[in-house]
């Protein structure tokens, strides 16, 4: 069965793509950071589902994906002999199908032959264009249609999710949107008969900025055409079908805990409704992303993290009437010290799949600069993710400065190494002097701090490439009142930065060499926060982020002002309490790259519990506020972009990163729950 199915899928993948979007004349290279993403690599694995305490499980774990890129959110194809999954190989999320190895030996063989060139041996199921996130794939039982989430079509309103459910007929490539326009859907699941699809949707109310607890309801509609859409279950996400009338899902209940729930649904003339809803997992631990299968009646798998455990594991719960909700650990005996996510059960009920860090020594070498496909690239500009934050290019394009965790580094932008640590404390933002070679401005001190916290603007001179002792640092501000985000003028004379010295964060300009000692001029003034400034290459404008439209609200928009203080205007705002930050001018000064929640969230946050927030994508806009374009499509947090005229060839640039700390991420603080009755160890950590 695998062969004809694969053939049909490959044929579908070759279909022509729609016309490319309009080109921009700006050119160059945009580099940005994705919080944490380059520090982990997921593969999809499986274990026998059979809850046997004596199962020599370690020997039975199979790796189902090839150790290339990040592979996640797997699902078995109907015949269980192939696996569907999401992968970011080749610089953009796409869906793939590959045969399931039938034995551990076969899995090991396919793993040992993996290398970056293996990326070329497996073809995506969907065309590359338009660039979009594709997520949570399933196939109809006859294997003819792929049902998935895509962000290919922009939402009509800013700050609305672009995520919607589509189905693609694999033999023809004919694609149909199943989600109504103006609505978002996440995490679709096709019923065992294929007739119905369930999905989690924030409904017409859309997204109002939630990160921690995205409220969705479960809608059910016909897989064929999206018709007969009806609200089946209020307050739930990540549906999974056990049979035609039983859906498992997760919900964060009023006690703060995510739990797995079961709903019996009934199809009536008007639509589908839940006849009963029952909580399966008790309070006291989080259990989410449930998985059920007609092949495993009476069983449901979920991702859980038990009290006292540092790791999330896959557990199976016996929910049959005589099972008394007994729990069986699936993954902990096999890989106790790694997080496991988003289980799925094979149609025959024999195996449970999940994704986890693939561990050391497998797959690609870590990347310093990972090429990311974007609309228009590489014809107009190339786009890269860097393993670090606040990247900026030297003006000859040869070096990149960026912030590590902690410290500040400079590397050669062509991947030839040359890594130097130029500062070892906490620094944020980097920008290079236009005239004096090897001078980088940054701010040192704590980030996200109050107006009065000591943070200073400094200029670091790199000196001689090969000699650490020639690095020198000059402090440009005095008094330390949260001075940050320096950006130099192209004539080399001035530096604009933000300071909290008046009690509010506003913009100021100082002499680039003498700093504040040479005098200081105030550029903006008011009881709000102006920050993250960037001076245009033509010298005419300073772009910055500000909450002046709603001081203290947490909402930021991008504004511009001439360096002489005239011409203030707002360029882009994602609306309401939206967040739009970190502007950086294009080389021709005619557009800006920035990060924003303009496209809301692209997945259920709890399906990525190691990402701090599931929004934050990279966009460009013309400086008159027109022509907003989304460059990144993923459910990660993308930020701190910068833009250089230097065109970096679109290819990945590897570097040996230190293995320690990779994959050692924490859950997000938003999974902590404040419950005095709970022991301390249930506070899962502050970062992720």
Ligand X SMILES: *[C@@H]1O[C@H](CO)[C@@H](O)[C@H](O)[C@H]1NC(C)=O
Instruction: State the residues that interact with ligand X by CB under 6 A.
Output: 90, 119-120, 123-124, 128, 373, 540, 562, 564, 566
Residues 6+ apart with CB under 8 A from 108: none
Q: Which is nearer to ligand X, 254 or 566 (CB)?
A: 566
Instruction: Quickly count: other Cβ atoms within 10 Å of residue 435's Cβ.
Output: 14
Residue among 253 and 588 whose Cβ is closer to ligand X: 588
Residues ≥6 apart with Cβ < 8 Å to 296? 49, 242, 345, 349
**Positive/negative CA dihedral, 251, 346, 140, 320:** negative
Q: Which is nearer to ligand X, 124 or 363 (CB)?
A: 124
| Separation of alpha carbons 165 and 466, rounded Å | 54
What DSSP element (H or E) covers 112? helix 104-112
Query: Which of residues 146 and 263 has its CB atom nearest to ligand X in the complex?
Result: 146
Rounded CA-CA distance 74/95 in Å is: 9
CB of 562 to ligand X, least distance (A): 4
How far is CA 347 from each of CA 44, 200, 233, 262, rounded to the nearest angstrom?
A: 17, 22, 24, 19
For ligand X, which is the closer residue by CB, 119 or 224?
119
Q: Find the shortest distance in angstroms from Cβ 631 to ligand X.
A: 15
H, E, C per residue of 358-412: CCCCCCCCCEEEEEECCCCCCCCCEEEEECCEEEEECCCCCEEEEECCCCEEEEE
Would you say 481 or 652 has its CB closer to ligand X?
Answer: 652
Is residue 432 exposed (0-12), middle (13-18) or buried (19+ Cβ within 10 Å)? buried
In angstroms, what is the minimal distance from the CB of 37 to ligand X? 19
Rounded CA-CA distance 299/305 in Å is 18
Least distance in angstroms from the C-beta of 109 to ligand X: 21
The helix/strand count (H/E) of the chain reads as 3, 48
CB of 214 to ligand X, least distance (A): 32
Q: How far is residue 384's CA from residue 611's CA, in Å, rounded to a whole number? A: 20
What are the two backbone dihedrals, phi and then psi, of residue 141, each rounded to the nearest 5 degrees? Answer: -55, -30
Taking the least distance from each CB to ligand X, the nearer of 469 and 564 is 564
> What tokens does 451 get?
């107006």
Secondary structure (DSSP) of 572-636: E--STT-BEEEEEE-TTSSEEEEEESTT--SS-GGGSTTSS-S--EEEEEETTS---EE---SSS
Question: Of 472, 476, 473, 471, nearest to 494 (Cα)?
Answer: 476
Long-range contacts, stretch 268-276, CB < 8 angstroms, 24+ apart: 270/230, 271/220, 271/228, 271/229, 271/230, 271/231, 271/232, 272/196, 272/220, 272/228, 272/230, 272/232, 273/230, 273/231, 273/232, 274/232, 274/233
Q: Give the shortest CB-348-to-ligand X separation in angstroms.
A: 31
Between 199 and 561, name the residue whose CB sits nearer to ligand X. 561
Smallest gap from Cβ 576 to ligand X, in A, equals 32
Nearest residue (beta carbon) to ligand X: 564
Tell me, rounded to whole angstroms, the distance of Cα 331 from its chain centroid.
Answer: 25
Which three-class secondary structure state does DSSP give residue 148? strand
Q: In angstroms, what is the minimal distance from the CB of 373 to ligand X?
A: 6
- The distance of closest approach from Cβ of residue 563 to ligand X in the complex, given in angstroms and rounded to an integer, is 7
HEC string of 115-137?
Answer: CHHHHHCCCCCCCCCCCCCEEEE
145-184 in b/e burial notation, b at 16+ Cβ within 10 A? bbbbbbbbeebeebbbbbbbbbbbebeebebebbbeeebb
Residue pair 132/633 in contact by the 8 Å Cβ criterion: yes
Q: C-beta of 94: minimal distance to ligand X in Å?
A: 8
Residues 6+ apart with CB under 8 A from 463: 438, 469, 470, 471, 472
CB atoms near residue 55 (< 10 Å): 16
- Least distance to ligand X from the beta carbon of 123, Å? 6
Our CB check for ligand X shows the closer of 312 and 630 to be 630
Longest dimension (CA), the chain: 81
Query: Which is closer to ligand X, CB of 564 or CB of 658?
Result: 564
Specify the residue, 93 or 457, whose C-beta has the smaller distance to ligand X.
93
Nearer to ligand X, 94 or 281 (CB): 94
Name the token pair of 18. 């729609």
CB nearer ligand X, residue 88 or residue 513: 88
CB of 220: closest distance to ligand X in angstroms?
A: 34
Q: Which is nearer to ligand X, 97 or 663 (CB)?
A: 97
Q: In whole angstroms, how close is the CB of 578 to ligand X at the nearest point?
A: 28
Nearest approach, Cβ of residue 119 and ligand X (Å): 5
In angstroms, give the least distance from the CB of 568 to ligand X. Answer: 11
Pick 400 or 496: Cβ nearer ligand X: 496
Residue 668 is given by DSSP the state P
């Amino acid at each position: 069965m695998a062969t004809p199915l694969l053939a049909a899928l490959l044929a579908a993948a070759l279909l022509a793509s729609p016309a490319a979007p309009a080109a921009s004349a700006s050119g160059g290279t945009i580099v940005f950071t994705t919080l944490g993403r380059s520090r982990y690599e997921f593969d999809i694995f499986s274990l026998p589902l059979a809850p046997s305490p004596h199962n020599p499980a370690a020997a039975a774990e199979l790796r189902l994906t090839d150790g290339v890129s990040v592979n996640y959110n797997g699902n078995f194809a109907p015949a269980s002999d192939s696996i569907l999954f999401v992968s970011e190989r080749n610089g953009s999320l796409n869906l793939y199908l590959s045969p399931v190895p039938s034995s551990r030996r076969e899995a090991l063989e396919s793993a040992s032959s993996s290398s970056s060139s293996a990326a070329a041996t497996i073809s995506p199921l969907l065309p590359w264009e338009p660039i979009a996130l594709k997520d949570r794939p399933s196939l109809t039982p006859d294997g003819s249609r792929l049902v998935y989430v895509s962000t290919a079509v922009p939402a009509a309103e800013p700050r609305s999710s672009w995520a919607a459910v589509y189905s693609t007929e694999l033999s023809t490539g004919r694609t149909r949107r199943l989600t109504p326009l103006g609505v978002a859907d996440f995490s679709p699941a096709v019923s065992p008969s294929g007739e119905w699809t369930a999905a989690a949707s924030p409904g017409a109310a859309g997204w109002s900025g939630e990160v921690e607890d995205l409220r969705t309801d479960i809608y059910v509609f016909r897989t064929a055409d999206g018709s007969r859409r009806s609200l089946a279950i209020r307050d739930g996400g990540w549906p999974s079908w056990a049979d035609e009338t039983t859906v498992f899902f997760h919900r964060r209940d009023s006690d703060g805990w995510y739990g797995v729930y079961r709903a019996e649904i009934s199809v009536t003339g008007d639509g589908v409704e839940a006849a009963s809803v029952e909580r399966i997992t008790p309070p006291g631990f989080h259990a989410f992303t449930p998985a059920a299968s007609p092949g495993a009646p009476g069983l449901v798998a979920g991702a859980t993290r038990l009290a006292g455990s540092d790791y999330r594991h896959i557990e199976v719960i016996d929910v049959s009437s005589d099972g008394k909700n007994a729990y069986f650990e699936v993954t902990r005996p096999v890989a106790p010290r790694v997080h496991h996510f988003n289980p799925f059960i094979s149609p025959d009920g024999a195996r449970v799949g999940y994704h986890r860090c693939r561990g050391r020594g497998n797959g690609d070498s870590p990347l310093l600069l990972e090429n990311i496909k974007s609309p228009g690239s590489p014809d107009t500009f190339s786009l890269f993710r860097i393993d670090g934050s606040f990247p900026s290019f030297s003006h000859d394009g040869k070096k990149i400065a960026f912030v590590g965790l902690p410290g500040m580094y400079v590397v050669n932008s062509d991947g030839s190494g040359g890594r130097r640590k130029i500062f070892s404390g906490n620094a944020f933002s980097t920008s290079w002097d236009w005239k004096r070679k090897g001078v980088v401005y940054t701010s040192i001190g704590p980030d996200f701090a109050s107006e009065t916290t000591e943070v200073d603007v400094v200029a670091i001179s790199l000196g001689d490439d090969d000699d650490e002792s020639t690095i020198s640092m000059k402090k440009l501000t005095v008094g330390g009142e949260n001075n940050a985000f320096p950006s130099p003028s192209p004539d080399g004379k001035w530096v604009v930065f933000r300071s909290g010295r008046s009690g509010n964060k506003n913009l100021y300009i100082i002499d680039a060499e003498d700093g504040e000692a040479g005098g200081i001029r105030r550029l903006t003034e008011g009881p709000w926060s102006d920050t993250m400034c960037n001076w245009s290459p033509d010298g005419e404008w300073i772009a910055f982020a500000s909450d002046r439209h709603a001081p203290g609200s947490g909402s930021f928009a991008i504004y511009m002002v001439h360096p002489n203080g005239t011409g203030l205007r707002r360029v882009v705002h994602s609306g309401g309490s939206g967040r739009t930050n970190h502007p950086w001018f294009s080389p021709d000064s005619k557009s800006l790259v920035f990060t924003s929640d303009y496209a809301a969230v692209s997945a259920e946050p709890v399906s990525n519990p190691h990402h701090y927030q599931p929004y934050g994508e990279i966009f460009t806009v013309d400086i008159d506020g027109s022509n907003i374009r989304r460059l990144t499509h993923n459910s990660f947090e993308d930020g701190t972009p910068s833009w250089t005229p230097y065109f970096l060839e679109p290819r990945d640039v590897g570097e040996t990163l230190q293995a320690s700390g990779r994959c050692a991420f924490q859950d997000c603080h938003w999974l902590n729950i404040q419950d005095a009755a709970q022991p301390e160890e249930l506070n899962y950590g502050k970062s992720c």
